[in-house]
Chains A and B, each alone.
With several copies, the nearest count.
Chain A
Amino acid sequence: MSALSDDHSEIVERHLRVLEALLFASSEPLDANSLLTYLGEGANIGELLLTLQARYADRGVNLVRRGDRWAFRTAEDLGFLLRRDEQENRPLSRAALETLSIIAYHQPATRAEIEEVRGVATGKGTIDLLMEAGWIRMRGRRRTPGRPVTYGTTEAFLDHFGLETLSDLPGLDELKGSGLLSGRLPPNLQIPLPFDGAALRDDEDPLDPDDPGGDEDQD
């Protein structure tokens, strides 16, 4: 091995140690950009994270990706050992569960659209509860009369349900294929739903400055 590649691997190891320390220390997922500020210019953060992920793949703790963020989490197969009894398991109401899944699969979704799928009015409390849990957020406003707020899921949602990206949602392809995610269209019309990330869609406006959480949603 040449001296150059020795140097290189030494730097990589040092970077990996820094990433380990930062990611281990935090209970919240951290995004690649803020991790990069600890490594200095020129570090290939994407590659480093994948290297670290591979190293921990067989361990009791895994490095997982949640949207744009990364976190160490205990391995899924060891969950049975770690079940915490003291945790207060407040099951979500059926209305909240349905609303959450409709937002997850149909996002960006307005309240009217959620109600259309459920066939019943959705109480403000249900939306509030999901916002409070940190699983949904106000994305923007639909460019239609009344400019209704559009809702989408958060990275905490991905983290909670162990999804890397929204396209990991179970059965998503199947639902898209059968046209069931295509809003009000008749079943024989199949239009694939674009599933982009945080960026606003063509028919969405940004939130108004005085909308609650309007600022936090700009990131």
Chain B
Amino acid sequence: MTTAQTDWFDTPAEPAAEDVMYVDVGGYEGPLDLLLDLARRQKVDLAAISVLALAEQYLAFIETVREKRIEVAADYLVMAAWLAYLKSRLMVPQAPSDDEPSGEMLAAMLQFRLKRLEAMRRAASQLMNRPRLGYQVYARGMPEPIEIKRTSLWEASLYDLLKAYAGQRERGITTDYSPIQRTVWSLQEARDILQRLIGDSFEWVSMDSYLVDYLATPAERATVRASSFASSLELVRLGQIDLRQTETFGPLFMRRRKADRP
């Protein structure tokens, strides 16, 4: 919607009837504004305007604008459709069975809306003509503001204090703390060690005796055994060693495979 550039205190000059058709729609603040302007040109009290004539003028105006291929905002077209409907209701006598509002009621509604808009405009201009602050009436030019002097009362509880102390002592400790590295044998690691330990020995030797040096701590036992066993299976698959177990849960023996000898 275009904003009206016209100073609305200026009552627009009354144009001759034929001039009406040449007014640009852009000068209006919406369809109601246009209707109000058209109504004013009837030079009568809004209560006494001919709504039918008004509707016809509006429709003619919109028609002219559209013939000039000027883009008309949807608001104006909605109003045009409504006025066309109003016109038809006013011209055709109402049937008794008709539940729709009568043409007279619709016309009264339109008059009411026009009167209300005009009243609001008059109210706005009355408001602006009042002695306004900063225009006719003035406030204190040298205000003496209230000076606020702020003093802070600090609050802390003994708990806060102790928590702060304990917190930072603990912080100091954690900087020295180094997490215990759990030894985990990787498969590659276990395989390298087995290769190294078996060497060129073709004797059956139990796996545990190879690894006894590495089973020193109970914590490492499981990972050493698991990784070594898995690696030994891999070495068997590659045909590098033989593996033998005489009984269930018995010791696992291994030796360098003969065929593997260079």
Query: Could you list which residues of chain A lie within 8 angstroms of chain B, going by C-beta atoms?
Result: 21, 24-28, 71-74, 76, 79-98, 100-102, 104-105, 117-121, 123, 129, 133, 135, 159-163, 169-171, 175, 178, 180-182, 185-189, 191
Contact = CB atoms under 8 A, between A and B. Distances in A.
19 contacts: A27-B143, A28-B141, A73-B144, A84-B147, A88-B152, A90-B152, A96-B154, A98-B124, A101-B121, A101-B123, A101-B162, A102-B165, A105-B120, A118-B30, A119-B172, A159-B133, A163-B130, A171-B119, A180-B162
B142 interface: yes
B108 to A, nearest CB: 6
Given A101-B127, A182-B170, 4 more contacts: A25-B140, A28-B142, A72-B142, A80-B136
A4 to B, nearest CB: 33
Nearest to A81: B146
Contacts of A189: 169, 173
A166 to B, nearest CB: 12
Contact of B169 (A73, A74, A181): A181
A78 B188 CA distance: 91
B111 interface: yes
Contacts of B135: 79, 83, 87, 89
B73 to A, nearest CB: 9
Contact of B161 (A104, A178, A191): A104
From A76, A82, A161, A181, residue with most partner B Cβ within 10 Å: A161
B142 A186 contact: no
A121 B78 CA distance: 13
B138 interface: yes
Contacts of A95: 3-4, 29
Interface residues of B, number: 78
B153 A102 contact: no
Contacts of B79: 119
Interface string B29-72: 11111010000000000000000000000000000000000000
Nearest to A118: B168
Nearest to B34: A119
B116 A117 contact: yes
Interface of B: 1, 3-4, 6-8, 29-33, 35, 75, 79, 105, 108-109, 111-113, 115-117, 119-128, 130-158, 160-173, 175-176
B160 A73 contact: no
Contact of A88 (B145, B153, B162): B153
Contacts of B155: 89-92
Contacts of A84: 134, 138, 146-149
A117 B137 CA distance: 31
A94 B6 contact: yes
B124 A26 contact: no
Contact of B31 (A85, A86, A119): A119
